[in-house]
């Protein structure tokens, strides 16, 4: 017999620390500017209605201290001065945000981001094989899980959303408004039990991003981190489950003929999805399909065919990715390696695997 319970994200998962993997430092007047808003947001944590014993996403809503440490270490790893990025503060007037120091890495900040990240992941990834574990290293690289970072190219917030990425998801939502065909569209997700608490974000009119994507819209409290996460995680699901799945399925027989195992093909699938997050799916689909027509079994190492194929594909990207500048081709080529390196560095500092 099923029974209904209410799980508060504000208190669920409290356990004594087994290992002190991260030492929180006191905030200062220069970096505590998010604290008041975060405490208010934390106090308003929505309650998630779920059913036991077969509640989807129940494990994802816990808060193990090891995961607190992983988020804190990701935040700490991100440059204090935000090299290549700028930390910004949004006034209530929503005018142009001002430059500020990196926000205080407080327990309130870390726990709020962790709770929201896992709650939105549980909503967006319902019915998919994707979990928050898979996207953790991507966010660790993109923003270090900081709410208020803006890159020199204009990407913003936790998922480093670009204007193009937001408009892409808006187009999906508009096209899917009546048919509810895509499992990551707002019209589909708003009726899922795992999305309880996000009705406003999933039901409100789609914002007009046709002309300008305001910074405050995707980095400021209290709308964020939820608004940024809902766009970023839905984008990743579209890339992984649709756009990356297409070339993998198309070339599956060829990959098997080259000697790759199913495990290696699954790893390749994740890498292609992550690569699309930076390089865009049309270009990555095109370069991967052309690469698969040229690669031969003789060029792969027998010891590690998956890694060998991936290294050859990275070289192919550098030579064939449709970007004029050498720097951009290098950025796309090295993007997945940087994601994997970020995760390894965080886990080395923490002494255990993250998520």
pLDDT in tens, the chain (355 residues): 333 322 333 333 333 333 346 899 999 999 999 999 999 888 766 444 343 334 455 566 678 899 999 999 999 999 887 777 899 998 766 567 889 999 999 999 999 999 999 999 999 999 999 999 999 999 999 999 999 999 988 899 999 999 899 999 999 999 998 888 999 999 999 989 999 989 999 998 887 776 666 788 889 999 999 999 999 999 999 999 999 999 999 999 999 999 999 999 999 999 999 999 999 999 999 999 999 999 999 999 888 999 999 999 999 999 999 998 999 999 999 999 999 999 999 999 998 899 8
Residues 287, 316 contacting (CB under 8 angstroms): yes
Q: Rounded to the nearest 5 degrees, what angle is found at the Cα of 161, between the Cα atoms of 61 and 86? A: 100
Task: Please enumerate in sequence order all residues whose Cβ is within 8 A of that of 134, keeping only pairs 6 or more positions apart, or say none.
Answer: 240, 270
Q: b vs e for 240-269, b when ≥16 Cβ sit within 10 Å of the residue's Cβ?
A: bbebbeebbeebeeebeebebeeebbeebb
The reported pLDDT for the residue numbered 88 is 92
Task: Please enumerate in sequence order all residues whose Cβ is within 8 A of that of 265, keeping only pairs 6 or more positions apart, or say none.
Answer: 248, 252, 255, 256, 306
Check: pTM over 0.85? Answer yes or no. yes
């Amino acid at each position: 017999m099923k029974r209904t319970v209410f799980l508060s994200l504000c208190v669920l998962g409290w356990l004594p620390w087994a290992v002190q993997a991260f030492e929180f430092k006191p905030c200062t007047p220069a970096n505590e500017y998010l604290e008041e808003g975060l405490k208010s947001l934390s106090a308003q944590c929505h309650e998630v209605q779920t059913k036991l014993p077969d509640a989807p996403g129940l494990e994802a809503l816990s808060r193990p201290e090891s995961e607190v440490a992983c988020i804190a270490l990701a935040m700490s790893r991100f440059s204090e001065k935000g090299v290549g990025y700028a930390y910004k503060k949004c006034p209530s007037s929503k005018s142009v945000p001002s430059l500020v120091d990196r926000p205080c890495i407080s327990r309130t900040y870390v726990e709020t981001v962790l709770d929201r990240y896992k709650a939105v992941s549980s909503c967006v990834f319902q019915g998919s094989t994707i979990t928050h574990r898979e996207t953790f290293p991507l966010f660790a690289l993109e923003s270090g899980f900081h709410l208020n970072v803006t890159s020199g190219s204009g990407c913003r917030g936790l998922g480093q959303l670009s204007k193009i990425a937001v408009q892409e998801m808006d187009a999906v939502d508009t096209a899917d408004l009546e048919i509810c065909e895509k499992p990551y569209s707002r019209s589909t997700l708003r009726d899922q039990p795992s999305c309880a608490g996000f009705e406003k974000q999933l039901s409100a009119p789609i914002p007009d991003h046709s002309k300008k994507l305001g910074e405050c819209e995707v980095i400021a409290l209290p709308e964020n981190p939820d608004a940024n996460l809902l766009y970023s995680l839905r984008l990743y699901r579209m890339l992984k489950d649709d756009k990356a799945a297409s070339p993998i399925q198309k070339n599956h027989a060829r990959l098997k003929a080259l000697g790759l195992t199913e495990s290696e093909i699954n790893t390749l699938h994740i890498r292609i999805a992550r690569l699309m997050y930076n390089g865009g799916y049309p270009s990555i689909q095109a370069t991967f399909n052309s690469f698969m027509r040229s690669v031969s079994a003789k060029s792969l190492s027998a010891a590690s065919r998956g890694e060998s194929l991936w290294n050859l594909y990275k070289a192919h990207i550098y030579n064939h990715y449709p970007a004029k500048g050498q720097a951009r081709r290098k950025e796309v080529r090295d993007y997945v390696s940087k994601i994997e390196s970020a995760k390894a560095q965080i886990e080395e500092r923490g002494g255990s695997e993250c998520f």
